[in-house]
């Protein structure tokens, strides 16, 4: 359990906090045994954000579309099939290996934070351990996505140009509101973790 005043860990059964000397109440010990639903809800929300919420908006010559890194990988994988069909109809052979690699890379990378968040929830439900790996993994994904948004159009344009044997230029990529919402959820999750550890949040 944790001291209500200083937030540091106190061994079970102790009457006083060894760090600040504050009396440890029975209610505090009971509260630390309860599982905070908010901890789990926030992690589930981050998992949804990683798969569903669009992080980037692609503006190109015929319109615009929004993606996160997972949906971008899936869209590229589907796009390679379309490119191959177009090329075969014209009697050409489209080399989409670079696009396939690009798609698989983002899909695989996007699964990592989902695994960490699932492990976080499992550790909390089984042992009461509050891990930070899940929110940290999502934060890293957001940073990687922000960096990727700077070179994704160039990389995709070059790959499509090679596949079609003609010059193709894509538009720009901008960070959408979903990116900021996800970042905000990461911050709230870490903040709630601290409150739960300190015994100040049990709902």
Q: What is the pLDDT of residues 101-111, one digit of tens each?
A: 777 888 888 89
Using alpha carbons, select from 117, 110, 119 the residue that is nearest to residue 189: 117
Provide the β-strand partners of residue 9: 2
Task: Please state whether the predicted TM-score (pTM) of the whole model is above 0.75.
Answer: no
Token match 């979903």: residue?
178
The stretches in the chain having pLDDT less than 70 are: 1-5, 7, 12-13, 24-34, 60-62, 83-84, 86-87, 90, 92-96, 98, 151-171, 202
The pair of three-digit structure tokens given for residue 115, joined into one six-digit string: 């695994």
Give the pLDDT of residue 27.
44
Q: Quote the DSSP letter at residue 25.
A: P
Whole-angstrom CA distances from 104 to 88, 93, 150 are: 23, 21, 19
Give the pLDDT of residue 49.
93
Adjacency order of strands within the sheet including 173-175: 63-67, 56-60, 173-175
Give the pLDDT of residue 148.
73
Whole-angstrom CA distances from 95 to 57, 92, 110 are: 26, 10, 25
Give the pLDDT of residue 116.
96
Give the pLDDT of residue 183.
96
Give the pLDDT of residue 165.
63
Give the pLDDT of residue 163.
57
The pair of three-digit structure tokens given for residue 66, joined into one six-digit string: 């929004």
Give the pLDDT of residue 45.
96
Q: Is 171 left (phi over 0), alpha (psi -120 to 50) or beta?
A: beta
* 3 state SS of 57: strand
**What distance, in Å, lies between the first and last C-alpha atoms of the chain?**
16
Radius of gyration of the chain (CA): 23
Whole-angstrom CA distances from 18 to 25, 45, 194 are: 14, 37, 20
Give the pLDDT of residue 112.
93
Token match 């891990």: residue?
131
């Amino acid at each position: 359990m944790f001291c209500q005043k200083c937030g540091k860990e106190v061994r079970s059964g102790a009457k006083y906090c060894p760090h600040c000397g504050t009396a440890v109440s029975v209610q505090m010990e009971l509260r630390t045994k309860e599982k905070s639903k908010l901890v789990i809800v926030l992690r589930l929300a981050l998992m949804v954000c990683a798969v569903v919420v669009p992080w980037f908006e692609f503006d190109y010559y015929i319109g615009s579309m929004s993606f996160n890194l997972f949906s971008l990988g899936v869209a590229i994988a589907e796009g390679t099939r379309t490119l191959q069909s177009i090329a075969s109809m014209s009697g050409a052979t489209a080399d989409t290996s670079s696009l396939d690699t690009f798609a698989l890379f983002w899909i695989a990378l996007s699964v990592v934070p989902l695994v960490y968040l699932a492990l976080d929830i499992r550790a909390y439900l089984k042992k009461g351990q509050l891990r930070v790996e899940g929110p940290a993994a999502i934060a890293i994904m957001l940073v990687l996505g922000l960096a990727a948004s700077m070179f994704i159009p160039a990389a995709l344009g070059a790959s499509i140009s090679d596949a079609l044997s003609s010059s193709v230029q894509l538009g720009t990529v901008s960070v959408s509101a979903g990116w900021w919402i996800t970042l905000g959820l990461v911050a709230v999750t870490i903040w709630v973790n601290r409150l739960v550890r300190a015994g100040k949040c049990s709902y």
